Amino acid sequence: MSRLIVLEGLDGAGTTTQTRRLVEHLTARGDKAHATREPSDGPIGQLIRQMLTGGHAIPGQSIAQSTFGLLFAADRLDHLQREVDPKLAAGVTVVSDRWYHSSLAYQGTGAERDWITMLNARARRPDLTIFLQVRPEVAAARRVAAGRVQELFEDLRMQEDVAAGYKATNSELAAQGERIEVIDGEAAPDLVFAAIVSLVGDPH
């Protein structure tokens, strides 16, 4: 049985590592599984990644948040059509490193939330979303330790706002019936992975 499983969290929470490990685990036990990410590797996703690292900058200005909101929503629908839906239709479990929860948490603050929600109304609801909860300062220390170039949304103060955004987003979506599980992302990686495997279970 195919499922869409999403891993979410702040930059540095470990979503990329745990996405890879989960797909390896599912494949090893005989399931068809596929890892993916957002921004996607499609044309819109590649443009977003360039913009997040300073490419296509507007001289003397920052790129409007509304522009990112539109691009992320467009990338998500393109991602669904190109990659996610075909895999699910073929009986493959798709594990995505981020989904629309990120858009709501990163860009859906204040009056923008309803607009971001509307833009993502046609995005597929995950069967399971696992949120790796990590304090902003811990996530920042991990990014520094990994030698990562700071992206647009990775300023510590902004990440504190994003953490609050995730809390509100997870609460709202759970109230609407979406399955969202929160685990301690600050635990040892093997313990985090064990918790993820327990939540994913065996659909057979």
Cβ atoms of 83 and 89 within 8 Å: the answer is no
Instruction: Between 52 and 185, name the one with better pLDDT.
Output: 185
Instruction: Between 116 and 202, name the one with better pLDDT.
Output: 116
Sequence ranges of the domains in the chain: 4-200
- Confidence at residue 43, expressed as pLDDT on a 0 to 100 scale: 97
Report the SS3 class of residue 196.
Answer: helix
For β-strands 33-37 and 128-133, DSSP reports them as unpaired
CATH class of 4-200: alpha beta
> What is the Cα–Cα distance from 99 to 147, expressed in whole angstroms?
25
Q: In this structure, which amino acid lies at residue 123?
A: A
Per residue in 108-163, pLDDT (tens digit) is 666 688 899 999 999 999 999 999 999 998 988 887 887 765 554 557 778 888 99
Report the SS3 class of residue 184.
Answer: strand
- Whether residue 55 is predicted with pLDDT greater than 80 in this model: the reply is no
- Confidence at residue 134, expressed as pLDDT on a 0 to 100 scale: 96
- Confidence at residue 173, expressed as pLDDT on a 0 to 100 scale: 96
Over residues 54-72, the mean pLDDT reads: 84
- What's the mean per-residue pLDDT of the chain? 91
Give the DSSP per-residue string, 85-150: HHHHHTTPEEEEE--HHHHHHHH--TTHHHHHHHHTTTSPPPSEEEEEE--HHHHHHHHHHTTPPP
- Confidence at residue 160, expressed as pLDDT on a 0 to 100 scale: 87
- Confidence at residue 175, expressed as pLDDT on a 0 to 100 scale: 97
